[in-house]
Structures are given as structure tokens and as C-alpha cells.
């Protein structure tokens, strides 16, 4: 019981001993959710409600009943999140204000249908900051810079949280801000191309990689504040930077930043909730895997690290080369993709080798092992809950789009494998007390399974989800 919830008079003991009526004033209870709100909390709530009402008045004619329901639900959800984690309030309000500024700048230049998107190359703020592509490029740069500062913090011996890591954290916040602005503005831009083109930007690999980057970073930043350590930033930002690198390659190789009309299967309101729920799972699974890597570098023997961290990319390279040279009927684009992944795995092999060689400075600032295990568990538990919801929503979406809840499509099959993997991990932890290096290796290998379900299926297998091919 804390001091906020109970008060005991210092004379209570003496009064009771003398036989007189007790003079202590004892108040037992937990402070209510609304009673502890200050003026800034209520101001934030008022701004969110005002923004929702503005969206209804401005864009209500373009919404169907499901979209209106999502917007109505989003308002109290944002308010609750902002009250629960106060830094989120600044992020939401700043991203909303910047997005409205971009929309206003677009609105000053119109064409036959709506805002003239050519203004993105003419108006200074749009060209260099606030158009969707500019904002996402800023996101990419800030994530790379954040990763460098987090890693630099390992080699500065001036306290548990170095100044370099503090800068890395601020840069990560800036990257999340620019990612949200880019996402919101891209949503607006899609509606200015033509009738029935506009859609929430979670429909292709380019858009969902942006979603993965900012969502994973935001979860990490919450846990960074919760556990009061920045030492894990280098590990988590590493997987985000890898995703950003893929995003930039994909942009150049496929011109993926161009907004395209939705294929018929994606023209459903289910997409608006299924995909974000899915990527809560992907993001937290990736976060848990990087925490597991930190745990292993801190605890595993040199031999185990060499066998595990070095053996994993070596095995993947061997599998890729085997598929490359022994499967003669592979199409040229698949062979090209396999060669690219072999190069990536070689880079991963070199990186793991550096980590093993520098394990002492890379683990000197890490929190206690119990903290790492707790963070790993919380991340996987949260991700599993949302991934379960996303899988159920995906089944309903499949029934609407293809006439059946489950068709053993490769994407569905691998989603089930991911679900079973983390269900087994949670079962072993909760029922059998799984802890230590076994759980860490399992969580790290889980990222490989999840990555294949996310990307590998799109590369090597065809099916009903082939609209997401590389």
C-alpha cells in the first residue's frame, strides 16, 4: 500500500495502547482512472475529440459504417493510451498537426479531382519534409542515425545511460514522428489520385515496412522508459535499420513508393484492423528476439555463441546455395532473389562475428538477466495476443473475400506455424517454468520463422496472398 492510498496517524499506536478510541484516519482504496487526471490530460482528450469531430465533418461523406466505427473507437483508445503513457500525447498531437499542415499545403494547389500531388515537388515544406515520401526518407535517416548513436553508447564509459544513447533515443522518437506523418499524409495523397483509389496505407510491402518500423520502435521506447535502461536500443534499432534498408532497396528496385489501386481482395474494411494487429505481433516478436540476442551475448559461452549465432547464417547460406544450384526449374527472378539473400546472410554472418568478438563492451551496460527475461516475456505475450486477434480477423476476411475461413494457403500455413511457435514458448514458460538460454535461443529462432512467414513466403511460395510478392 503506498502513501497515496493510505494515511496512518503517528499517534494511532499510542492511542490504541491506552485504551482510548483510535485517532488514526485510515483510507484504503485505489485511485480511480479519472480522479488522477490533470488539466493537460483533459486538454489532450478535448483535442483528440475535436480532431475526430473534424474528421467526421470533413471526410464523413467518404466513410462507410465500418470506417465510422473505427474512427469512433479510435478516439477513446488514443485518449486512454495518452493518459497511460504521457509521451504519446506529444507524439500524437505533433504528428496530427504536421499532417494537417501538409494537407493544407496540398489544398492550396488543386487539379481536376482534388489536391494536386505535383505540389510535392514545388512547395518547399512538402518537397523537403512533409510529403509522404519525404517524411519516410527522413524516418529512414533518423533511424539509421539513432542506431549509430545507440551503438556508440556501448563504448562510452560514463554511467549506465550515456549521452550518446540519450541522443539515440531522441532520434528514434523523431523517426517515429516522421513515420507517422508520412503514413497519414500518404493516406490523404491516395484519396487525391482518383475515385476509389484512396486507402489506409497498409496494403503492400512498402507500406507495411513503414508500419513495422515505427510500431517496433514505439514499443521499444515504451519499454525503455518502463525498465529505465537505454542499453537495449542498439539491439532493437538494429532490426529496425535492417527493415529500413530493405524498404529503401524495395523503393529503388520496384518503385514501391508509388501509390497503387487496391486489388479486389484488399478492398475490404477488414484490412484496416487485420494488418495493424498483425504488425503489433511482428514488431514485438522482433523486439523479443533482439532482447534474446542481448541475453545470449551476456550469458552464453563462446562455443555456444559460435555454434548458434555463426551457425545460423551459415546454415541459411548453405540452404540458399543448395536451392540455387539443385533446383533447376526456378524462375530467373527467384534465382536473383536467392543470390541477394545469400549476400545478406553473409553480411549477417560478419555482423554476428563482430558481436561475439566485442561481447564484453556490448553487454557491460545491459540490465539484470531477470529484467531481460521479463521484457522478453512481456513482448512475446503482447505480440501473441495481437497475432491471435489478427489471425482470427484474417479468417473472417478470407471468408468474405474467398468464401472460406481457412484454405491452407502458404501464408496462412506459415502464420499458423508462427502462432504455434509462440504458443508453445508461452506454454513452456508459464506451465514448465522455461527460463534462461533455452528460452532466449527459442525467441531468437522465432524471429527467423516470423521473417520467413512475412517475407520468405512472398518470395518462394505462391498462393492467394501472391499480391504481396517481391
Closest alpha carbon to 221 in 163, 289, 307, 284: 284
Mean residue pLDDT across the chain: 84
Asked, for residue 396, whether it belongs to a domain, the answer is yes
**Full domain range(s) for residue 454:** 286-470
Cell for 414? 506459415
Reported as type and span, the H/E element at residue 382 is helix 369-402
Asked, for residue 332, whether it belongs to a domain, the answer is yes
Whole-angstrom Cα distance, residue 385 to residue 443? Answer: 16
Closest alpha carbon to 365 in 155, 170, 149: 155
Enter the DSSP assignment of 306: I
Asked, for residue 325, whether it belongs to a domain, the answer is yes
pLDDT at 463: 57
Asked, for residue 6, whether it belongs to a domain, the answer is yes
Looking up cell 532473389, which residue turns up?
A: 337
Cell for 287? 523486439
Secondary structure percentages of the chain, helix, strand, coil, to 5: 75, 0, 25
Q: Number of folded domains in the chain?
A: 2
Whole-angstrom Cα distance, residue 374 to residue 142? Answer: 29
Asked, for residue 431, whether it belongs to a domain, the answer is yes
Asked, for residue 226, whether it belongs to a domain, the answer is no
pLDDT above 80 (res 189):
yes
Asked, for residue 453, whether it belongs to a domain, the answer is yes
pLDDT above 60 (res 241):
yes
Percent of all residues in the chain with a pLDDT value above 70, rounded to a whole number:
87
pLDDT above 80 (res 41):
yes
**CA 314 to the chain's CA centroid:** 28
Percent of all residues in the chain with a pLDDT value above 90, rounded to a whole number:
48
Whole-angstrom Cα distance, residue 131 to residue 179? Answer: 11
Closest alpha carbon to 419 in 468, 383, 370: 383
| 42-73 pLDDT per residue, tens | 999 999 999 999 888 887 777 777 778 888 99
pTM score = 0.86
Report yes or no: 335 and 325 within 8 Å, Cβ to Cβ.
Answer: no
SS3 call for 115: strand
Asked, for residue 420, whether it belongs to a domain, the answer is yes
pLDDT above 70 (res 363):
yes
Enter the DSSP assignment of 119: G
Amino acid at each position: 500500500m503506498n502513501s497515496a492510498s493510505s494515511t496512518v496517524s503517528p499517534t494511532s499506536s499510542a492511542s490504541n495502547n491506552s485504551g482510548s478510541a483510535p485517532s488514526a484516519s485510515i483510507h484504503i482504496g485505489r485511485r480511480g482512472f479519472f480522479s488522477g487526471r490533470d488539466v493537460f490530460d483533459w486538454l489532450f482528450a478535448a483535442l483528440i475529440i475535436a480532431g475526430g469531430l473534424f474528421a467526421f465533418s470533413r471526410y464523413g461523406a467518404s466513410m462507410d459504417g465500418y470506417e465510422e466505427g473505427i474512427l469512433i473507437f479510435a478516439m477513446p483508445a488514443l485518449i486512454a493510451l495518452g493518459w497511460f503513457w504521457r509521451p504519446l500525447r506529444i507524439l500524437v498531437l505533433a504528428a496530427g498537426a504536421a499532417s494537417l499542415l501538409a494537407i493544407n499545403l496540398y489544398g492550396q494547389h488543386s487539379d481536376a479531382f482534388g489536391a494536386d500531388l505535383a505540389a510535392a515537388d514545388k512547395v518547399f515544406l512538402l518537397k523537403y519534409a512533409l510529403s509522404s515520401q519525404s517524411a519516410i526518407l527522413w524516418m529512414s535517416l533518423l533511424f539509421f542515425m539513432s542506431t549509430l548513436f545507440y551503438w556508440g553508447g556501448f563504448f562510452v564509459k560514463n554511467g549506465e545511460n550515456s549521452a550518446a544513447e540519450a541522443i539515440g533515443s531522441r532520434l528514434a522518437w523523431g523517426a517515429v514522428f516522421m513515420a507517422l506523418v508520412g503514413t497519414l499524409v500518404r493516406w490523404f495523397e491516395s484519396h487525391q489520385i482518383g475515385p476509389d483509389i484512396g486507402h489506409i496505407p497498409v496494403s503492400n510491402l512498402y507500406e507495411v515496412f513503414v508500419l513495422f518500423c515505427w510500431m517496433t520502435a514505439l514499443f521499444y521506447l515504451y519499454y525503455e522508459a518502463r525498465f529505465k535502461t537505454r542499453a537495449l536500443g542498439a539491439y532493437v534499432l538494429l532490426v529496425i535499420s535492417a527493415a529500413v534498408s530493405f524498404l529503401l532497396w524495395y523503393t529503388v528496385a520496384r518503385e514501391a513508393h508509388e501509390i497503387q489501386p487496391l486489388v479486389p481482395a484488399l478492398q475490404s474494411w477488414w484490412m484496416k484492423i487485420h494488418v495493424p494487429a498483425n504488425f503489433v505481433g511482428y514488431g514485438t516478436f522482433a523486439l523479443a528476439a533482439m532482447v534474446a540476442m542481448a541475453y545470449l551475448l551476456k550469458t552464453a559461452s563462446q562455443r555456444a555463441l559460435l555454434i548458434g549465432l555463426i551457425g545460423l547464417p551459415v546454415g541459411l547460406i548453405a540452404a540458399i546455395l543448395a536451392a540455387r544450384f539443385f533446383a533447376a526449374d526456378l524462375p530467373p527472378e527467384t534465382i536473383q532473389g536467392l543470390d541477394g539473400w545469400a549476400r545478406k546472410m553473409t553480411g549477417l554472418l560478419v555482423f554476428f562475428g563482430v558481436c561475439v568478438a566485442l561481447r564484453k563492451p556490448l553487454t557491460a551496460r545491459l540490465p539484470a538477466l531477470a529484467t531481460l527475461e521479463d521484457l522478453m516475456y512481456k513482448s512475446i505475450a503482447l505480440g501473441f495476443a495481437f497475432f491471435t486477434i489478427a489471425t482470427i480477423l484474417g479468417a473472417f476476411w478470407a471468408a468474405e473475400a474467398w468464401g472460406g475461413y481457412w484454405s491452407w494457403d502458404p501464408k496462412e500455413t506459415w502464420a499458423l506455424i508462427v502462432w504455434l511457435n509462440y504458443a508453445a514458448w508461452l506454454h513452456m514458460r508459464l506451465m514448465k517454468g522455461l527460463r534462461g538460454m533455452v528460452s532466449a535461443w527459442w525467441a531468437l529462432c522465432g524471429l527467423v520463422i516470423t521473417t520467413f512467414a512475412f517475407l520468405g513466403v512472398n518470395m518462394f511460395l505462391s498462393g492467394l496472398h501472391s499480391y504481396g510478392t517481391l
